[in-house]
Amino acid sequence: MDDFRGGHILEEKYNPIAIEKKWQELWHETGVDSIVRDDSKKKFYCLEMFPYPSGKIHMGHIRNYVIGDVITRYKRMRGFNVLHPMGWDAFGLPAENAAILHGTPASKWTLDNIDYMKKQIGKIGCSYDWSRELTTCTPQYYKWNQWFFIKMLERGLAYKKNSSVNWCGQCSTVLANEQVIEDKCWRCDSVVSKKELEQWFFKITAYAEELLAGCDTLTGWPDHVVAMQKNWIGKSLGAELDFPVENSDIKIRIFTTRPDTLFGATFVCLSPAHPLAAFLTEDQEGLRRIRTEYDKQDAATAQTTLGMFTGKYAVNPINGERIPIYVATFVLMEYGTGAIMSVPAHDSRDFEFATAHNLTIKQVIAPPEAVSELKPLAEAYEGEGILIESGDFTGLPNKEAIVRINEYIENKGIGTASVKYKLRDWGISRQRYWGTPIPVVYCENCGALPVPLDELPVILPENIELKGMGGSPLAAVEGFVAAKCPKCNGPARRDTDTMDTFVDSSWYFIRYCSKMNEDALDKPNIEHFMPVDQYIGGVEHAVLHLLYSRFFTRVLRDLGIVAVEEPFTRLLTQGMVCKETLKCPEHGWLFPEEAKGGKCSQCNGSVERGRVEKMSKSKKNVVTPDELTERYGADTARVFSLFAAPPEKDIDWSDQGVEGAYRFLNRLWTLIYSNIEQLKTHRQKTHTTGPLIRKTHQTINKVTQSVERDYHFNTAIAALMELLNEANSFRPSKDEDYASLYFAVRSMLLLLSPFAPHICEELWQGIGEKGSILLHSWPEWDEEAAKEEEIELVIQINGKVRAKEKVSASLDDDNIREFALKNIKVMELLAAGKQPRQKILVKRPGSCIVNIVF
RNA sequence: GCGAAAGUGGCGGAAUUGGCAGACGCGCUGGACUUAGGAUCCAGUGCCUCACGGCAUAGGGGUUCGACUCCCCUCUUUCGCACCA
């Protein structure tokens, strides 16, 4: 700790590059910047979404990590024992693509990238506990993916079923969704088709209800993210009913959310993929055409009225009516039962279909105000109403009818109340190389068997040649595929698929609770640190990653590993980093240096200023962290990105804004440097009162409130700028003035240190404080010292501001009102004979308002 | 189409529970110091008006002594979902 003994000499000029390097090294060497577990303090777990090691850190990462770092440093100064880890989401397709295209082994590519990115992260001065650094592509990590897989298999939460994948016939390989570009293969440009493969699934639907109910406990999450989760789970209440097929003992089971409209069902629709479709349809050729359309349709291309009559009729079980059975492409096999009853009068899709096919439309719900006079419907009526032409249920409000009809069908044995979810089970098989091997072997005699737990991990072979042809790359690796059956010891072969990388990120926050040299699932560690108190990341993970993590946490809870059910108490979804784009009508997007003087450097044509868009290489509006830290230093980069907007909003990158942040730090430096001797001398003197002391207390208050209230760092920094402005215009002459200045400067450094740690540490040492500023506690404000002696009295007449005057803060309410009445403008009105009807007084900190109403 | 969020100066953005709209920064204007300034410092800067004053928080209405804030309608933008029966 000798390095923090004070007596440090400041350079005249602020030199961020030198001081940042110095302190980063010193903090690292002395361990000041890493936080060790200390059970005497309250824990705080602050986590940023770990990066995929794509090669370089970009501004989005920087923003994410800086927000997390500020929270970490702030909470630490407030006396918390903060867990703040970092790691690498290291499995994934880009590494595999690099291997296919350039022959670089995926592991080397990944580890090299991690090396480089770790250096970049170090340069922005974030304080991580690197003893917990994890890399998901290491066997030590993915072993546990396999372990969880087997545990889930044992509990029936992992199972195999057929599912379709994107298939490129030309390359004879499976494609991930992101490798399919406009229905074509990313490499050979040939058309992609669907292929059925047997794949592994995790039964997330078993937790659907719990995940949905848990949404209501996520009070620390942004509302829209919770809404997206609920919407994704998509619960709907309804009923399942059997519609018998005429002249047969076959029944068609349908799902509906509107049993109240049962009397209005005028036809039944089957999905083209429904097993009964082929069985019932007379025109097989026609069905085949529709099936082809159905298979290739997606949300954008779907036709709403494509379908055909099967030639058969069904019986409406509630009234015995004979209604036709259709096949329709708008009915999805994956949802509900793959068959519906169509009620064209009360469902817009059914209405459209019925109109196109000339089918009966029978109204059974009337709007409450129009029961007596019904007109033919021009569109489906989907609102509330009263049942009509519905047998014994006629006259009931439809809400009530749902309940009564559900009871009726259950009693009659023709149906049952039913709950459906949009949420599907999570398919985790990937026909890919760079991922966690699925720990299953197939024996000819014994079938599919999990690898015994004590044989884990199943190691992913490295340095294999990837050609990008054929099915799963691992299938071509002889040494990997060959295995022994754990049951009969006979020859067996391994599953050659790997797991979805979302598996890796579904529990990494639990792994961090223990150091890398400790047991991965150490219960006391997990119990101590979980849940994550503050999670920070992009909205793009609002559904999948967060939902999978919530699912995994519950599975791990059921396995006795975790005690909590929700992994993330508070969630902050930070906005994107955007920048203005520049475009030449001839040459497209331009770099700023190609558009000097508003002219395109190639054709000299005038440049259009494009929209402000998310930074991306293709739009040529990227600022790299490297150029920024080399030019201005990390502290400037940090201050700008925090000052530009509150964290949840997008920020608009501006080079001039960065300059502004840099100037702010320079002004701070200059203020301290130019008063350094007096500051050092008056360090010990107790300060007195005065405007600067008062402003300092107010600033401590303001900064603390801004941080506490939703991490609004932009207003916190603004308050510090105000204090600096006031300190700059303060002209000290007496000893006590310098003592005041010292107090202001010292507080300012403490308050600014989470935002700009390097410069604050340098100046802290410069003014002769002892010990690292990082270990200092957050300053407290004194309510009394922050109070103004004089307050501003705003005088309103009929709600309009007419005058402002300074009055003593000690005046009581009546005195203030009296004072306001003596105002010249008020007097004029009084003299004119008007009588005030009301005198409303509002007190605010530092000011008060009197509204005189005539 | 459905759902959610948002709309404030030339720009990014401020404004506890309804209580001085525009904090702070950028930009711009003028000045100082300079051989010079794209450095630094000082002053000014919502709009209209010579001024008194008036008008301003997407637009329109309402509640209120008082509305960026609450209520109703309209417009625009962004995001999510998109045949989920």
Nearest protein residue to nucleotide B13, judged by CA and C1' positions: A645
Helix axes A757-766, A634-643, angle to 10 degrees: 120
Task: Tell me whether strands A365-366 and A386-387 are parallel, antiparallel or unpaired.
Answer: antiparallel
Length A132 CA → B47 C1' (Å): 58
ipTM of the complex: 0.95
**A690 or A192: which carries more pLDDT confidence?**
A690
Residue with CA nearest to B5's C1' atom: A224
State residue A791's pLDDT score: 83
CA of A592 to C1' of B11 (A): 18
pLDDT greater than 80 at residue A173? no
Sheet containing A173-175: which strands, arranged edge to edge? A173-175, A158-168, A192-202, A426-427
Report the distance from CA of residue A786 to the C1' of nucleotide B18 in Å, as an integer: 26
Burial letters for A221-245: b for 16+ Cβ neighbours within 10 Å, e otherwise?
A: bbeebbebbeebbeeeebbbbbbbb
- Closest nucleotide (C1' vs CA) to A237 is B85
- Find the angle CA(A762)-CA(A670)-CA(A643) to the nearest 5 degrees: 75
Round and report the angstrom distance from CA (A538) to C1' (B5). Answer: 16
Give the model's confidence band at A298: pLDDT under 50 very low, under 70 low, under 90 confident, else very high. low
For range A176-196, the mean pLDDT: 72
Report whether A415 contacts A241 (CB < 8 A).
Answer: yes
User: Residue A641 in contact with residue A62, Cβ under 8 Å?
Assistant: yes
CA–C1' nearest nucleotide, residue A227: B4
- Nucleotide nearest the Cα atom of A801 (by C1'): B20
d(CA A310, CA A307) in angstroms, rounded, equals 9
The first and second tokens of residue A140, run together, are: 């030590």
pLDDT at A1 over 70: no
The backbone region for A172, taken as left when phi is positive above 0, alpha when psi lies in -120 to 50, beta otherwise, is left
Using CA atoms, how far apart are residues A742 and A763, in angstroms rounded to an integer?
Answer: 12
Q: What's the first-to-final CA gap in chain A, in angstroms?
A: 70
Q: Which residues contact A119 (CB under 8 A, 6 or more apart)?
A: none
Instruction: Give residue A468's pLDDT.
Output: 65
Separation of alpha carbons A718 and A680, rounded Å: 27
Does residue A836 surpass a pLDDT of 90? no
Rounded Cα gap, residues A811 and A848, in angstroms: 11
Nucleotides of B under 7 A from a protein CB: 3-5, 11-17, 19-21, 23-27, 39-43, 54, 65-67, 79-85
pLDDT at A232 over 70: yes
Which of A427, A433, A437 has its CA nearest to residue A483? A437
In the structure encoding, which two tokens stand for residue A745, read together?
Answer: 């400067």
**DSSP reduced 3-state for A841:** strand
pLDDT given at position A687: 60
Output the CA angle A778-A779-A785, nearest 5 degrees. 160
Question: At residue A276, does pLDDT exceed 90?
Answer: yes
SS3 (DSSP) at A742: helix
pLDDT of residue A580: 81
Q: Nearest protein residue to B1's C1' (by CA)? A: A348
What is chain A's mean pLDDT, rounded? 89
The mean pLDDT of A417-427, rounded to a whole number, is 90
Nucleotide nearest to A297 (CA to C1'): B83
Residue with minimal CA–C1' distance to B19 is A842
Tell me, in Å, how far CA of A299 is from C1' of B82? 7
pLDDT at position A714 is 95
pLDDT at A519 over 70: yes
What pLDDT sits at residue A152?
A: 97
- Say what percent of chain A tops pLDDT 90: 61
Closest nucleotide to A726, Cα to C1': B24
Instruction: Report the nucleotide nearest the CA of residue A724, measured to C1'.
Output: B24
Which nucleotide in the DNA or RNA is closest to residue A337, CA to C1'?
B85
Which residue would you say has higher pLDDT here, A821 or A531? A531
| pLDDT reading at A568 higher than 90 | yes
CA of A441 to C1' of B35 (A): 83
Residue nearest to nucleotide B24 (CA to C1'): A718
Residue range A106-144, pLDDT digits in tens: 999 999 999 999 999 999 999 999 999 999 999 999 999
Mean pLDDT of A587-600: 77
**A532-549 average pLDDT score:** 92
The answer to whether A661 touches A629, Cβ cutoff 8 Å, is no
Q: Identify the weakest region by mean pLDDT among A189-198, A332-341, A457-466.
A: A189-198
- pLDDT at position A371: 62
Q: How distant is C1' of B5 from CA of A568, in Å?
A: 23
Question: Which band of pLDDT confidence, cut at 50, 70 and 90, is reported for residue A20?
Answer: very high
CA distances to A19, A99, A111, A472, A633 from A433, in Å: 45, 10, 16, 7, 40
Residues 6+ apart with CB under 8 A from A378: none
Question: Per residue in A766-805, pLDDT tens?
Answer: 998 989 999 999 999 988 888 878 888 888 888 888 888 8
* A460 pLDDT above the threshold of 70: yes
Which has the closest alpha carbon to A246: A357, A323, A340? A323
Collapsed DSSP state (helix, strand, coil) of residue A564: coil
Nucleotide of closest approach to A719 (CA, C1'): B24
Nearest residue by alpha-carbon distance to C1' of B27: A656
Q: How far is the CA of A719 from the C1' of B46 (A)?
A: 23
**Å separating the CA of residue A747 from the C1' of nucleotide B5:** 38
How far in angstroms lies nucleotide B44's C1' from the CA of residue A722? 19
Gap from A851 CA to B18 C1', Å: 14
Interatomic separation, CA of residue A722 and C1' of nucleotide B56, rounded (Å): 27
Nucleotide nearest A792, CA–C1', reads B20
Supply the pLDDT for residue A553: 97
Average pLDDT, stretch A320-326?
A: 95
CA closest to B14 C1', residue: A715
Measured CA to C1', the nucleotide nearest A255 is: B85
Least confident span in A24-38, A306-320, A404-418? A24-38
Rounded CA gap, A142 and A149, in Å?
A: 11
Measured CA to C1', the nucleotide nearest A721 is B24
Give the alpha-carbon dihedral of A811, A815, A819, A820, to 10 degrees.
100
Confidence grade of residue A253 (pLDDT, cut at 50, 70, 90): very high
Angle at alpha carbon of residue A80, lines to A716 and A763, rounded to 5°:
50
Categorize the per-residue pLDDT at A520 as very low, low, confident or very high, splitting at 50, 70 and 90.
very high
Tell me, rounded to whole angstroms, the distance of Cα A678 from its chain centroid: 49
Nucleotide with minimal C1' distance from the CA of A837 is: B65
From the CA of A214 to the C1' of B85: give the distance in Å. 26
Round and report the angstrom distance from CA (A847) to C1' (B18): 17
Angle at CA of residue A292, ends A291 and A296, nearest 5°:
115
Q: How far is CA A829 from CA A732, A794, A837, in A?
A: 46, 17, 13
CA–CA gap between residue A440 and residue A455 (Å, rounded): 11
Q: How far is the CA of A90 from the C1' of B79 (A)?
A: 29
For the segment A60-103, what is each residue's pLDDT rounded down to a tens digit? 999 999 999 999 999 999 999 999 999 999 998 889 888 888 88
Specify the length of chain A in residues: 854
- pLDDT on residue A300: 62
Top-ranked range on mean pLDDT: pick from A297-301, A485-489, A604-608: A485-489
Q: Which two tokens stand for residue A409?
A: 């069908």
- Kindly tell me if the per-residue pLDDT of A296 is higher than 80: no
Q: What sign results for the dihedral spanned by CA atoms A838, A843, A844, A849?
A: positive
What DSSP state is assigned to residue A675?
T
Give backbone dihedrals phi and psi of A429, rounded to 5 degrees, phi first. -75, 135
Q: What is the mean pLDDT of residues A52-56?
A: 92
* C-alpha–C-alpha distance, residues A344 and A364, integer Å: 10
pLDDT, residue A79, reads 95
Minimum-distance residue to B39 (CA–C1'): A663
Q: Alpha carbon A507 to chain centroid distance?
A: 16
Sheet containing A415-421: give its strands across.
Answer: A251-256, A235-244, A415-421
Q: What percent of chain A has pLDDT over 70?
A: 96
Task: Name the DSSP letter for residue A190.
Answer: P
How many Å from the CA of A94 to C1' of B69? Answer: 48
- Distance measured from the CA of protein residue A420 to the C1' of nucleotide B84, in angstroms: 9
> How many Å does it take to go from CA A621 to C1' B39?
28
Those residues whose C-beta lies under 8 Å from the C-beta of residue A52, and which sit 6 or more positions away, are A88, A89, A90, A92, A94
* Confidence band for A299, pLDDT divided at 50, 70 and 90: low
Half-sphere exposure (Cβ direction) of A701: Cα atoms closer than 13 Å = 14
pLDDT at position A597: 67
Number of Cβ atoms within 10 Å of the Cβ of A249? 6
A359-409 per-position pLDDT tens digit: 999 999 988 776 666 677 788 888 888 999 999 999 999 889 999 999 999
In this complex, the nucleotide whose C1' atom is nearest to the CA atom of residue A234 is B84
Whether A585 and A595 have beta carbons less than 8 Å apart is answered as no
Q: What local confidence, expressed as pLDDT, does residue A181 receive?
A: 67
Å between A41 CA and B74 C1'?
Answer: 55
Cα atoms found within 13 Å of the Cα of residue A548, Cβ hemisphere only: 19
User: Nearest residue to B85 (CA, C1')?
Assistant: A256
- And the tokens for A847? 């000011």
Looking across all nucleic acid strands, the nucleotide with the smallest C1' to CA distance from residue A800 is: B66
A480 contacts A458 by C-beta, under 8 angstroms: no
Torsion angle in degrees (nearest 10) through CA of A320, A321, A326, A328: -90
pLDDT score recorded for residue A157: 96
Q: Which residue is nearest to nucleotide B83 (CA to C1')?
A: A330
Please say whether the beta carbons of A545 and A505 come within 8 A.
yes
- The pLDDT-based confidence of A471 (bands split at 50, 70, 90) is confident
User: For A382 and B62, how far is CA from C1' in angstroms?
Assistant: 31
**Which nucleotide, over all strands, has the C1' atom closest to the CA of A661?**
B25
Lookup: tokens for A316:
């409406």
pLDDT band at A841 (very low <50, low <70, confident <90, very high): confident
Q: How far is the CA of A648 from the C1' of B59 (A)?
A: 28
Residues 6+ apart with CB under 8 A from A781: A697, A698, A700, A701, A704
- Given pLDDT bands bounded at 50, 70 and 90, which one contains residue A40? very high
Both tokens assigned to A527: 């119990």
Q: Which nucleotide is nearest to A422 (CA to C1')?
A: B84
Length A385 CA → B72 C1' (Å): 25
User: pLDDT digit string (tens) for A630-670?
Assistant: 999 999 999 999 999 999 999 989 899 999 999 999 999 99
A207-229 average pLDDT score: 91
Q: Which residue is nearest to nucleotide B18 (CA to C1')?
A: A842
The pLDDT score that the predictor gives to residue A182 is 66
Question: Would you give the DSSP letter of residue A437?
Answer: B
Nucleotide nearest to A843 (CA to C1'): B19
Question: CA angle A391-A393-A395, nearest 5°?
Answer: 105
Per-residue burial over A432-460, b if 16 or more Cβ lie within 10 Å, else e, is: bbbbbbbbbbebeeeeebbbeeeebbbeb
Cα–Cα distance between A52 and A536 in angstroms, integer?
A: 15
